[in-house]
Amino acid sequence: MSLPLEGLSAVVTGAGRGLGRAEALELARLGAAVVVNDYGQPGRDGSGEASTGPAEDVAAEIRAAGGRAVAHAGDVADFAGARELVELAVAEFGKLDVLVNNAGILRDRMVFSMSEDEWDSVIRVHLKGHFNMTHFAAAHWRARAKEKQEGREALPWKGGGGRRAGGLVYGRIVNTSSEAFLAGSAGQPNYAAAKGGIVGLTTSTALALAKYGVTANAICPRARTRMTADVFAGFERPDEGLDPLAPEHVAPLVGYLASPAAAQVNGQLFVVHGGLVAIVERPRVQARFDTKQDAFTYDELDALLTPHYAGRPKGETFAAAEVLGLRHAGASADR
């Protein structure tokens, strides 16, 4: 019996520790050959010397379990480094089929205290890193689709005549957003902005690449990792069983989205943690107002919008803070 990802190759960024490591191991368990990427800096804020150690360790772990894996210690936020990473996957495994963008750092601060570097560095690693990898993976799939199309004979329409068959390839992108974007994390304006941008990048990519057979989806994972050690410090681990905040709760969804079974899942956003997967609905129009004149005036807007917001719950914004209350149905109340 073949495995779901047998014959496919994947790149997982930020895979030396935490979520990325769990995702790389899961993809390998499902049969994929994996390029394990991690810049290897020890600090969760991107500080410290880069190291090949974390990526090499996870690649070795996959090979020890009978899988295929190579390590890459480059910086995905570097444009040339991202190209090198995609080229490595193609050189080692013949092609790239799955891209999991996970690499990131944290530099938390309130917006009035945040420095320019704290803003720029987080946007660079998360948002630019996602773009860089998506750009080169998309170019690879587009080139393959064109080659496939050019190699096919013209096929007939239902009503006669002829056209070239579309050159579809296998491609899956799983991007990593965050509940910080959905709920509006007050102390993480850089991180929330980057994660919101990643959702926009995901939906744009999903529409742009669908014609080639490629899907792009985003996840908002909640897990106890090096980056979130202080965030979940008060959430105790159970004496028995899997920690509800273990990264292993997230990895199976990534494996599914990378698989042929998820061919119809595209441009979607998922919240995933502790035995729970929630599909986030796209934004809907809450209310609509039309001017009774050629154009709105201040007085007309005041007469329409002021009473509307006077009746809304205090503190309600576009943010969906309710996602933070999502729990597995069997989870205890004190988790």
Task: Indicate which residue of 39, 170, 191, 256 is catalytic.
Answer: 191
DSSP for 78-121, please give it. Answer: SHHHHHHHHHHHHHHHSS--EEEE---------TTT--HHHHHH
Q: Helices (DSSP H) in 99-188: which residue ranges? A: 116-123, 129-150, 179-183
Residue 282's CB is within 10 A of a number of other CB atoms, namely 8
Say whether 191 is catalytic: yes
**Neighbour-count burial of 23, counting CB atoms closer than 10 A to its CB (0-12 exposed, 13-18 middle, 19+ buried):** buried
Task: Indicate which residue of 177, 178, 185, 259 is catalytic.
Answer: 178
Say whether 256 is catalytic: no
Q: Helices (DSSP H) in the chain: which residue ranges? A: 18-29, 53-64, 79-93, 116-123, 129-150, 179-183, 189-209, 251-257, 298-310
The tokens describing 118, both together, are 């704290």
Rounded-to-integer distance, Cα 231 and Cα 233, Å = 6
Strand-pair partners of 72: 37
Inter-residue contact 62 to 55 (CB < 8 Å): no
Task: Indicate which residue of 9, 121, 170, 195 is catalytic.
Answer: 195
Rounded-to-integer distance, Cα 234 and Cα 156, Å = 64
Closest alpha carbon to 225 in 254, 194, 250, 199: 250
Say whether 178 is catalytic: yes
Q: How distant, in Å, are the alpha carbons of 20, 46, 230 from that of 107?
A: 19, 9, 13
Residues carrying an active site annotation: 178, 191, 195
